[in-house]
Amino acid sequence: MIAPDATIGFVGTGVMGRSMAGHLMDAGYRLRVNNRTRLKAEPLLERGAVWCETVADVAEGASAVITMVGYPVDVEQVYLGSGGLVECAAPGTVLIDMTTSSPVLATRVHAAAASAGVRAVDAPVSGGDVGARDARLTIMVGGDADAFAHVEPLLRVMGPNVVLQGGPGAGQHTKMSNQLAIAGCMLGVCEALAYAEGAGLDPALVLSSIGAGSAGSWSLANYAPRMLSGDFAPGFYVKHFIKDMRIALDSARELGIDLPGLEVLLALYERLAERGGAEKGTQALYLLYKEHAAGL
């Protein structure tokens, strides 16, 4: 088990990573941090985190290193590239990738880490910026049981729902299932509001009815009011959701699974990104329906 005052490396202090790293500091862990842009790490540095110029520096003296970066290509570089974590982490270090990434890449990282004498788990999260800020993330873990037992208390600082789903890559596969469920809900919320408005109803009043019935969901309760108020600020970026959907489709094809609904939704989000929505929150899908209603 990792000591409660151990040094932890953290790579990726963006919208979610900064809050996650902050909770670790609150719990008494000492942090070494790296981010593509130092400015985003400043709130942590002001609290005593140590800035590191490279990921190799992050791993120096760390019992575990957590990564929360953007895309699978970033994960591959951080872990498997020259000067990456697998190459530079000391034997016994546990590497924890909390990025939503490829299950195949997760198994590659695990195998490379094992060959280098370090342990690796994939531990993607669900809960968005609010879950990260409130330490209420759901954390889906893939890897060896002993490595999981070693880092479970560390993960529970960032969220109460921490489950070992299986071996290497199982956390990422679980996150794909999560994203599939979210995607379907988001489409349903957008179309329910579009229909209500098209029928001349007050959509806020409609929400007061359907949100209390069997149609109620986290997405309906949290995203529908944002859509109606015109709040499309990112809790989770459209560009990252597109990345997740592409990973899910690639993984599904490798497994021989047909996901026609996801193909439709990916096409819609790609259209939204092409119209300037890539940096908006995922609830901005509603803008496509507003454009259609306006005849644009």
Q: How many CB atoms lie within 10 A of CB 253?
A: 11
Q: Which residues contact 244 (CB under 8 A, 6 or more apart)?
A: 100, 175, 176, 179
Cα 207 to Cα 192: distance, rounded to the nearest angstrom: 9
Structure tokens at 63: 């019992």
Closest CA to 84 of 122, 118, 49: 118
Crossing angle for the helix pair 170-198 and 260-272, to the nearest 10 degrees: 70
Active site residues: 175
Contact criterion met (CB below 8 Å) for 16 and 132: yes
Tokens standing for residue 260: 């026609």
